[in-house]
Amino acid sequence: MRKFFPVEELARDARFTQITMRESQADPRSSLVGESTGKRPKTNRLTPSRPDASDAARSLMHGIFVGEIQALEGAGRTCHDFETGDGRTTDTVPFALKLDMARQAWDEARHVEISVKLSDWMGTEIGQFAENTVLFEVACSNDPVLRLAGVNRALEGLAIDVFTTMKEFGDLAGDPYLEFCEDWMLADEVTHVKMGSDWLRRVTEDDPERRKKALEFQSVVDKIFSFGGTRSDSSESPIGLARRFRELAGFTDTEVTEIAEVSLAALEDRKAFSAASLQADATTAS
Amino acid sequence: MTATVSPLEFRFVKFDAALTERVADELVAALGIDRPVHIEIDETTPLGRVRATIGDDAIHLHVESGAFEDSKRPREQSETATAVNLGRILLRVRDRLHGGFGEAPPDDELSLRQMAAWETYCAGRLARLGLTVNQQRWLYNFRNRHGFTDAADAAFHQIWTADGLTWGELEAISTAAS
Amino acid sequence: MADPYKPRAPFAPWDRRQLPGLFDVEETARRVGNYKWAEMKLFEALGGWVATVPELDVKMRLGTHCYHHAWHAELWHKRLPELREMNPDRLTVPANDALVRFVEALTEPEAADQTIEKLVGVYRVFIPHFIAAYTYHKNNTSEITDAPTIRSLGLALQDEFEDWRDGEMMLQSLIVTADEVDRAAAHQAKLEKLMVEAGGIAGPGSIGSV
């Protein structure tokens, strides 16, 4: 078995179809601009009051499901891809870090199980929606510290935001299973973020350059994981920024503010991209 | 009666106007729609809202591209989604045309609860017509609007298995469950 | 109520634990170091394979079992300093070169259509050998002086048995043709030969000598 498994070869059964972030972003249509119906809601936040609430929740739940699969795969690969050592070089990780990654693999496997059950409850079939493989791509860095920054801090941080939004959705809708499950998964994600923060600090204790590079990588990933404005403080984003749980997970106020700014920038970028695409097409058509 | 589609060619999505016309023709025949149907697809948005305007001479449907999209393959068309989403709106149109639904508010004035009840009524009938419909999806939608209770589930099954309901009967079942 | 000051036997009549055991501290540490190395190789392989298997149920079980074996490795890692080995890495080694070759052969399958080979290696060869070595150790070490090792062996064995059952049932559900029976048997034979050469996960004497 190779070290460093390519994202293109992620193994899936026949029900799944995969798309890359590039393919996803290439779609010039956007739900964030345009007033074609004349009755577009003022907010995109995922709440039960949205007319498409149950379908939007089902779609997001499927996104969580495939995200958990990739998080499981990523944690598993970190157990395998690096030799056990002191972690000072990019080809080794400390034994205890591997143990944490194995623990995370178990947690993510449980999250996949929970997601399958929840999807069934919500009337979604496995593989019903396309799987965006961006999460595993981030988990494929050759430097384990970058994986911690990208996966545990950025991705699992996003998971905190998503689960908080879904938990609130379940609570407001009175869905007993959704609220219950999201609450449990949220607890695990806070643990994973703390794990990532702790290891990032410990492994790079004597290597400020490597820490800086990792934090820069995290910032890039945070912007990618804002999914073109899907997650931000703005009500135009379906998923909000879960400030309280992020603080519990060890993010500083400054870090949360930076993520908020990056997310808003991603939202604005996406709106500009969509507007430009539509404008370009209108010009071509005329 | 025949169905027509516009545009005939698409720039943002890989849709097939001929496929849409064929699916619509079959549904119009199966549902006994008594006037031509024109389908206008808005390909600039991935949202999936479908609106109907009932005229004396024709029925005009405005469809956002997400309604016909294959959720596994973004921007590609799904025949199943096309049939189910056209079927849902055409059944609502037929309900209004055939009487018994005169008291129903216009579509854009329906409450979320009323819409969920009517959608359940349509989806159940489409399932019996042989279309691929995930009952659990509609049960989840109904529960979100009526509560996660045994009473709501019983109302859902009553509506799902019903034929020939009037608006008053549908509304009574829905109101009692919420 | 009985008189609390009345002398009682230090070992109750139902407590039949014996003092003698086959292993001294040094031998116990050597075996525990071998166990830790083998459990590490197993959890690393399981973690790596998660991304390579298309079967969703198998993927989830591998993720779960990955942690079980990491936890066993942690148990052994923590036991080593208690056995006078203050540098656990020194004893975290394979029993011999044959065991290294076994692990190389075990982890060789990677393709998505080789789930049977992956599971056979783990659940029909590696884990049965863990069960054998742990059982031998548990039944032959001093029940009094080495109680901490016995406790860890018991905890690990419980996982090993349950994981073996999970894996065997996954295999039985995947092996549905005569060709697949042959594939599984051939791979098992290939790995079992290497394990025989190694003498078990702690080398010759892993399960004593008959």
Contact A28 B140 (CB under 8 A): no
Q: Which residues of A162-175 are buried (b: 16+ CB within 10 A; e: fewer)?
A: bbbbbbbbbbebbb
How far separated are the first and last CA of chain A, in Å rounded? 55
Give the length of chain B.
178
Lowest mean pLDDT among A35-49, A157-171, B108-122: A35-49
CATH match for A45-218 among 3.20.20.80, 3.40.47.10, 1.10.620.20, 3.90.1150.10: 1.10.620.20
Q: Measured between CA atoms, how close is A4 to chain C, in angstroms? A: 9
Whole-number pLDDT of residue A35: 45
Whole-number pLDDT of residue A36: 44
pLDDT digits (tens), chain C, 210 positions? 789 999 999 999 999 999 999 999 999 999 999 999 999 999 999 999 999 999 999 999 999 999 999 999 999 999 999 999 888 899 999 999 999 999 999 999 999 999 999 999 999 999 999 999 999 999 999 999 999 999 999 999 999 999 999 999 999 999 999 999 999 999 999 999 999 999 999 999 999 987
Query: Which residue, among C204, C206, C177, C175, has the nearest Cα to C188 in the 3D structure?
Result: C175
Contact C63 A12 (CB under 8 A): no
Instruction: With beta carbons under 8 A apart, name residues in chain A contacting C56.
Output: 13, 69, 112, 116, 126
Considering the entire predicted model, what is its pTM?
0.91
Query: Which residue, among B133, B84, B136, B124, has the nearest Cα to A124 in the 3D structure?
Result: B136
Whole-number pLDDT of residue A33: 46
How many CB contacts within 8 angstroms connect chain A with chain C? 112
Q: Sort B100 into a burial class: Cβ within 10 Å, 0-12 / 13-18 / 19+.
A: middle
- Return d(Cα C131, Cα C151) in angstroms, integer: 15
For residue A247, name the pLDDT band (cuts at 50, 70, 90).
confident
pLDDT (tens digit, 9 = 90+) per residue, B79-122?
999 999 999 999 999 999 988 998 999 999 999 999 999 999 99
Q: By the CB < 8 Å criterion, does C145 face chain A? A: no
- Return d(Cα A18, Cα A127) in angstroms, integer: 9
* C-alpha distance from residue B178 to each of A121, A168, B117, B155 (Å): 20, 21, 11, 9
How many CB contacts within 8 angstroms connect chain A with chain B? 94
Whole-number pLDDT of residue C186: 98
Instruction: With beta carbons under 8 A apart, name residues in chain A contacting B137.
Output: 54-55, 58, 122-124
C-alpha neighbours within 13 Å on the C-beta side of residue B167: 19
Q: What is the dihedral of CA A68, A69, A73, A74, to 10 degrees?
A: -30
Q: Which of A15, A54, A121 to mutate to test the interface with B (most CBs of B within 10 A)?
A: A54
Query: In this predicted model, which residue has the larger pLDDT, C165 or A50?
Result: C165
Instruction: With beta carbons under 8 A apart, name residues in chain A contacting B141.
Output: 54-55, 123
**In chain A, where the domains are located:** 45-218
Lowest mean pLDDT among A38-47, A79-88, B7-16, C164-173: A38-47
- Which residue in the set A30, A39, A123 is minimally distant from B139, CB to CB? A123
For residue A282, name the pLDDT band (cuts at 50, 70, 90).
low
Structure tokens at A280: 């370009």
CATH match for B3-98 among 2.40.128, 3.30.2010, 1.10.4100, 3.90.1200: 3.30.2010
* C-alpha distance from residue A52 to each of A286, B46, B76, B91, B144 (Å): 34, 13, 21, 19, 11
Q: Residue A286 above 60 pLDDT?
A: no
Residues 99-128 of A with CB under 8 A from C: 99, 101-103, 105-106, 108-110, 112-113, 116, 126
Lowest mean pLDDT among A134-138, B2-6, B37-41: A134-138
3-state class (DSSP) for residue B128: helix
Whole-number pLDDT of residue B36: 94
Q: By the CB < 8 Å criterion, does C105 face chain A? A: no
Q: Residue A17 above 50 pLDDT?
A: yes
- Return d(Cα A58, Cα A105) in angstroms, integer: 24
Give the length of chain A.
286
Q: Residue A140 above 90 pLDDT?
A: no
Residue type, B30: A
- Which residue in the set C47, C53, C109 is minimally distant from A105, CB to CB? C47
Contact C61 A109 (CB under 8 A): yes
Query: In this predicted model, which residue has the larger pLDDT, A40 or B22?
Result: B22
Q: Sort B81 into a burial class: Cβ within 10 Å, 0-12 / 13-18 / 19+.
A: middle
Contact C48 A98 (CB under 8 A): no
Q: Measured between CA atoms, how close is A141 to chain C, in angstroms? A: 15
Q: Residue A279 above 70 pLDDT?
A: no
CB distance B118 to B92 below 8 Å: yes
Nearest CA in chain C to A14: C54
Structure tokens at B48: 């999936």
Structure tokens at B49: 């809202």
Q: Residue A261 above 90 pLDDT?
A: no
Looking at every residue in chain A, the average pLDDT score rounds to: 85
Query: In this predicted model, which residue has the larger pLDDT, A230 or B34?
Result: B34
Whole-number pLDDT of residue C166: 98
Lowest mean pLDDT among A112-116, A255-259, B54-58, C49-53: A255-259
Nearest CA in chain B to A275: B44
Percentage with pLDDT > 70 across chain A? 88
Q: Which residues contact C10 (CB under 8 A, 6 or more apart)?
A: none
C-alpha neighbours within 13 Å on the C-beta side of residue C175: 19
Q: Measured between CA atoms, how close is A26 to chain C, in angstroms? A: 27
Whole-number pLDDT of residue A32: 52
Q: Measured between CA atoms, how close is A188 to chain B, in angstroms? A: 26
Q: Is the ipTM of this complex over 0.90?
A: yes
Contact C66 A126 (CB under 8 A): no
Whole-number pLDDT of residue B136: 97
* SS (HEC) of chain C: CCCCCCCCCCCCCCCCCCCCCCCCHHHHHHHHHHHHHHHHHHHHHHHHHHHHCCCHHHHHHHHHHHHHHHHHHHHHHHHHHHHCCCCHHHHCCCCCHHHHHHHHHHCCCCCCCCHHHHHHHHHHHHHHHHHHHHHHHHHHCCCCCCHHHHHHHHHHHHHHHHHHHHHHHHHHHHCCCHHHHHHHHHHHHHHHHHHHHHCCCCCCCECECC
What are the structural domains of chain C?
A: 25-198 (1.20.1260.10)
Lowest mean pLDDT among A132-146, A168-182, A254-268: A254-268
